[in-house]
Amino acid sequence: MKKVLVVYYTQSGQLNEALRATLAPFENNTDVSIHYENIKPIKPFPFPWRYMEFCEAFPETVTGVPFELQPFSFNPDDNYDLVIIAYQAWFLSLSIPINSFLKTDDAKKVMMNKPVVTIVACRNMWINSQEKIKVHLKELKANLVGNITFVDKAPNLISVVTVLAFVLTGGRGKFLGIFPKYGVSEEDLKEAPKFGDIVLKHFKTGNYTDQQKELVDAGAIQIKSNLMLLEGRASIMFPIYSKFILKKGKYQDPKRRGRVRSFGILLPIGMLILSPIITIVSRMAPLFASKRIKVDIEYYSQNSLRE
Ligand SMILES: Cc1cc2nc3c(=O)[nH]c(=O)nc-3n(C[C@H](O)[C@H](O)[C@H](O)COP(=O)(O)O)c2cc1C
């Protein structure tokens, strides 16, 4: 019997829904055994978040500071045929629990020389976090052979409002009765098993050569140029501001509270100003940078790191 290890972390369960829908074809297969490892930080992150707690997690998320985790239930000496990492992006980076997992010795043991598939469920910005996971996997000597993404398809500023309402209240209904429901749509969840079918097909042969191309053709990756440009700008600024906060103290140090608060003010302002500007620029970009955009979209749709 072939074995799959699935490592995931979710707060509201949204990621879990996308994960389970994708893996339905594996679940229906009696020749496969799946071990689900739900990563649990020793000190859980709140859900719903208070806005200051949410901002407090920013510097550690962006700079990749690992947090302590509860012991894992998988045996790191087991020989898995495939490892699946299902994660959500936090501040254009890996969520702290998943980043912390990737930094453990057990992750190294269990993932070395193994094929890995990533499944992302987030608001709409995962490009930078996926680049970060590529770096981790390279260090762990694991082979990234597939990436499947699920996003909220509402316009960017709408989903900024609905994700904040969602993570700060925990409610998934229509915010104020007028905004669309946050998150991955029911239709996208219904389509998810087709990605699982593709992975299962390659898993059975152990040959993953064409897997990502097939996933992309099936719609597993949809990159919008405005979001790619916006993420590119923000991913330069986030590490600078994180270090600025970290200079004042570590996680939850009261000495850094003023700087964390200033981030909390600047983040929505920056989004409100930058998002429309970049959307306009990206609409015009095909006039002067269409080749560059096409090359970047192709690059972020595949699994290796830039030289
Ligand atoms: C602290 C924090 C930061 C987030 N940052 C991003 C982000 O940079 N990009 C993104 O697309 N979504 C972001 N999100 C949304 C999450 O990716 C995810 O959709 C949401 O937290 C629900 O996931 P879960 O309940 O499965 O954990 C963020 C959420 C949190 C809590």
Render pLDDT for 22-43 as a digit per residue (tens, 0 to 9). Answer: 999 999 898 999 999 999 999 9
Which letter does DSSP use for residue 256 in this model? Answer: G
Q: For residues 291 and 11, give the distance between their C-alpha atoms in angstroms, rounded to a whole number.
A: 39
- Give the E-state strand segments of the chain in sequence order: 2-8, 32-38, 82-87, 89-90, 93-94, 115-121, 143-150
Which residue from 90, 91, 98 has its CB within 8 A of the most atoms of ligand 1, so it is best to mutate?
90
> Which residues does 125 contact at the CB level (< 8 Å), separation at least 6?
89, 92, 227, 230, 231, 234
Provide the CATH number for the domain around residue 15: 3.40.50.360
The C-alpha atoms of residue 251 and residue 53 are separated, in whole angstroms, by 10
**Residue owning the nearest CA to atom 10 of ligand 1:** 123
CA 186 to ligand 1 center in whole angstroms? 18
In a domain, 170, yes or no: yes
Expressed in angstroms and rounded, the spacing between residue 72 Cα and the centre of ligand 1 is 23
Give the range of the structural domain holding residue 166, as residue numbers without chain letter. 2-225
213 backbone φψ class: left, alpha, beta (φ>0; ψ -120 to 50): alpha
Q: What is the mean pLDDT of each run of 10 residues along the chain (307 residues)?
A: 97 96 95 97 96 97 98 97 98 98 98 98 97 98 98 93 92 86 95 98 97 98 92 92 98 98 94 83 77 94 94
CA 33 to ligand 1 centroid distance, Å: 29
Closest atom of ligand 1 to 183 CA is 19
Q: What confidence score (pLDDT) does residue 88 get?
A: 96
Which residue of 8, 61, 88 sits with most ligand 1 atoms within 8 Å of its CB, as the best mutation to test the pocket? 88
Distance CA 292, CA 146 (A): 24
Distance CA 127, CA 293 (A): 14
Instruction: Write down the pLDDT at residue 265.
Output: 95
Contact between 192 and 18 (Cβ < 8 Å): yes
Q: Choose among 74, 88, 69: nearest CA to 17.
A: 88
Joined tokens for residue 250: 């570590």
Indicate the number of domains in the chain: 1
Q: Does residue 270 lie in a domain region?
A: no
The protein residue with its alpha carbon nearest to ligand 1, atom 28, reads: 90
Which amino acid residue places its CA nearest to atom 6 of ligand 1? 90
Gap from CA of 15 to ligand 1 centroid (Å):
10
Amino acid occupying residue 192: A
Residue 2 CA, ligand 1 centroid: distance in Å: 32
* Domain assignment present for 266: no
Q: Which atom of ligand 1 has the smallest separation from the CA of 47?
A: 31
Q: For residue 9, which atom of ligand 1 is closest to its CA?
A: 27
Q: Is residue 184 part of a domain?
A: yes
300 domain-assigned = no
Task: With residue 204 as reference, give the H or E element that holds it.
Answer: helix 193-205
The answer as to whether 137 is a domain residue is: yes
Residue 296 in any domain: the answer is no
Q: What's the CA-to-centroid distance between 123 and ligand 1, angstroms? A: 6
Tell me the CA–centroid distance for residue 167 and ligand 1, in Å. Answer: 8
Question: Which residues line the pocket of ligand 1, CB cutoff 6 A?
Answer: 10-12, 14-15, 54, 57, 88-92, 121-126, 163, 167
**Are the C-beta atoms of residues 197 and 21 closer than 8 Å to each other?**
no
Cα 215 to Cα 197: distance, rounded to the nearest angstrom: 10
In a domain, 111, yes or no: yes
